[in-house]
Structure 1
Amino acid sequence: MKVFQRKRLFILLIGIIILVALIGYSMQDRKNETIAEQFVKDTVGWAQNLVHTPVEYVTGIFENIDDIKNTYEENKLLRQKIAEYKSLQYEVQELKEENDELRNTLDKTESIRDYNPVQATVISRSPERWIEQVTINKGSQDGVEENMAVITAEGMIGKVDAESKFTSTVKLLTGFDQFNRISATVSREDEDDIHGMIEGYDQESNHLLLRVVEESDFDLEEGELVLSSGMGGVFPAGLPIGEVKEVKPDEYGLTRTAFVEPVADMYDINNVIVVERQQPNSDTSSESEEEAS
């Protein structure tokens, strides 16, 4: 038994000596590695490469997924920003147009200071009667009454057809007929004015119908401006109505009908002015032609 123990001790001692010798040998500054060292290094390197390649591939897949997700989120955010920018552009454009319209309306208000203007906004428009009437946000409590003229910065668009306390319905010129007439005139500097009556609207040509009610040596010409004459005692004088586009005599040649294009855009109405004509003086109260029924 003692011999066997001594033998194990001897073998252990020899192993420790060999291990120390190998460690000392490996720590020497050598240029060339042994075959065993090269084999071990190559084996370890190949194993590392074998493990690293699929790990790197899988890691790359997850990184690409993260990049795609980030790109999607960034694109989504950019699309949102672009949409907000476009919306802001439209809003700025609308505000600019509304500002210009309000400025023009203010200028028009100042130009008719002899009358009582009531500024109003269109609040509704029925699709079934789109070209016939609109509803505004001013009523009898604001001084609005039936048959008052309604204009925009461009010109006349119609008259008050009915009013309630807070709102009013405006009949547009495009909805006029033989029962809703306007006393009109074509003013000329060097010649006599031509007077007539706006007596309706032609749906086919989209023109107002002006019937000349008096004989005249002068024919209407295309492009001449038609204004309200104020002869009916309801509408103020000098409100632009439209421009003459064509003149046709009746079948007997006794009267002439002019096709007048409205100066105001009947399809884009936002801000309007209700014009209350001042009460006529006693010497002019005899004017009797009724403009609106």
Structure 2
Amino acid sequence: MKKGPFTFHLAEILLVVMVLFSAITLGFSSGRFIVSFNSVGFTVFSSLQKGVNSVVYFFTDKINGIRELSDLKKKYTALKEQLENYEFLKRQNSEFQKENDRLKSLLEFTETLEYKNIPARIIGRDPDSLYSGITINKGSMHGIKKGMSVIAVQNGDKGIVGKIVTVGYGASIIMPVYDSMCNISVRIQNTRDIGIISGTGTQDEHLKLNYIRKRFVADFHTGDIVVTSGENGNYLPDIPVGRISMITPLDYSSSLDIDVDPIIDFGRLENVIVIDMSKTVEK
């Protein structure tokens, strides 16, 4: 037989076959092949399980996120409502405090008066009538009578509001000082010059002070306070009516043309005091 580059002897082939057979037999007998198959199966199954778990976790996480977002939105809405309620209560408490301060000022002032006084609250205004009526919640049943003077305390300042012109059983109407039909005897507080103050028909315009002599013009200044004279017994004396805002000498008259700004801001007036000068208060 011709020998090639590689020659195998029978003895060598049998030796290799026996070694392989022995190794395979030993492997089956020791269970190593079974363990390897189990390992492969476990690896495949665990990888599949891991993938499924990842997908489940992803969707579960998203669902939980949506649920948490919904809960947060509800909590936000609830907190927003609580904040709005708090702000409302805060504003309401501020209004109560302001109301208490106003009533306290009224009470303190009424305690200094020697005449019977009746506190009242404004419940209506009628600027379109013959006079600019202001309606209050007190009437004859409370002792209100026609012609009684009305004053108020506002921002710590007392001032004339007007006088009662109509009386009902449970309500009355005030003619305010700015009404064109209202005329009040007054004095300039510093000089004690006497004159008559009249309304111009609207709360947004000046009052007019008449019959102040022109020759004493140098004695008067803007900012001077005009008070009630107390003459004729219609109004308490020395109650502020307004402040002089402009002084104009007139060539054709011996009197000055004087504009007066009311002490009382009628647009913000809420409470008043009606004075019964026919009855004094024992102290």
Give the TM-score category using the shorter length. Answer: 0.7 to 0.9
Contact in 2 for aligned 1:202/1:209 (Cα 8 Å): no
Unaligned runs of 5+ in 1: 1-20, 27-32, 281-293
The one-letter code matched in structure 1 to 2:164 is V
Q: Deviations over 1:118-161 (max 9, x none)?
A: 011122345868x9333211001111122322111131122223
* 2:237 is the counterpart of 1:237: yes
Tell which structure's C-alpha radius of gyration is larger. 2
Q: Which residue is equivalent to 1:183?
A: 185
Alignment check: 8 A CA contact 1:196 1:214 kept = no
> For residues 126 and 43 of structure 1, what CA distance do their matches in structure 2 show?
93
Distance 2:127 2:265 in 1: 17
Residue 108 of structure 2 corresponds to residue 104 of structure 1: no
Report if aligned partners of 2:246, 2:259 keep a CA contact under 8 Å in 1.
yes
Q: Which residue of 149, 162, 169 maps to 2:166?
A: 162
Q: TM-score w.r.t. structure 2 length?
A: 0.78
Deviation at 1:213, TM superposition (A): 4.8
Deviation at 1:232, TM superposition (A): 2.7
1:92 shift after superposition: 1.3
Post-superposition offset of 1:63:
0.9
Deviation of 1:225 after TM superposition, in Å, equals: 1.0
Say which SS state the counterpart of residue 117 (structure 1) adopts: strand
Can you give the 5+ residue segments of structure 2 that lack an aligned partner in the other structure? 1-27
For the pair 1:255 / 2:252, whether they are aligned, the reply is no
Give the alignment of 1:108-119 within 5 angstroms: 108-112=109-113, 114-119=114-119
* Corresponding residue pairs, total: 246
1:211-222 equivalences under 5 Å are 211-213=210-212, 217=216, 219-222=219-222
1:176-199 deviation digits (Å, cap 9, x = unpaired): 11x3201111123xxx51111111
Following the alignment from structure 1 to structure 2, what is the Cα–Cα distance between the partners of residues 257 and 146? 31
Corresponding letter in the other structure for 2:237: A
Greater Cα shift, 196-205 or 57-66: 196-205
**Whole-angstrom distance in 2 between the partners of 1:56 and 1:126:** 73
1:208-251 CA-partner distances (Å, limit 9, x unpaired) = 11113556635321111111111132112121111111112334
Give 1:171's match in structure 2, choosing from 175, 182, 185. Answer: 175
Q: CA RMSD in A?
A: 2.8
SS at 1:138 equivalent: coil
CA gap of 1:279–1:71, structure 2 versus 1, over 3 A, is closer
Q: TM-score, normalised by structure 1?
A: 0.75
Cα separation, partners in 2 of 1:86 and 1:204, compared to 1, 3 Å: closer
Q: 1:54 to 1:133 in 2, by over 3 A?
A: farther
**Deviation readout 1:74-105 (Å, 9 max, x if unpaired):** 11111111111111111111111111111111
Identity of aligned residues (%): 24
Structure 2 matches for 1:48-127, cutoff 5 A? 48-112=49-113, 114-125=114-125
Measure, in 2, the Cα distance between the counterparts of 1:51 and 1:162: 90
SS in 1 for 2:62: helix
Q: Which residue of 1 aligns with 2:272?
A: 272
Distance 1:279 1:67, change over 3 A: closer
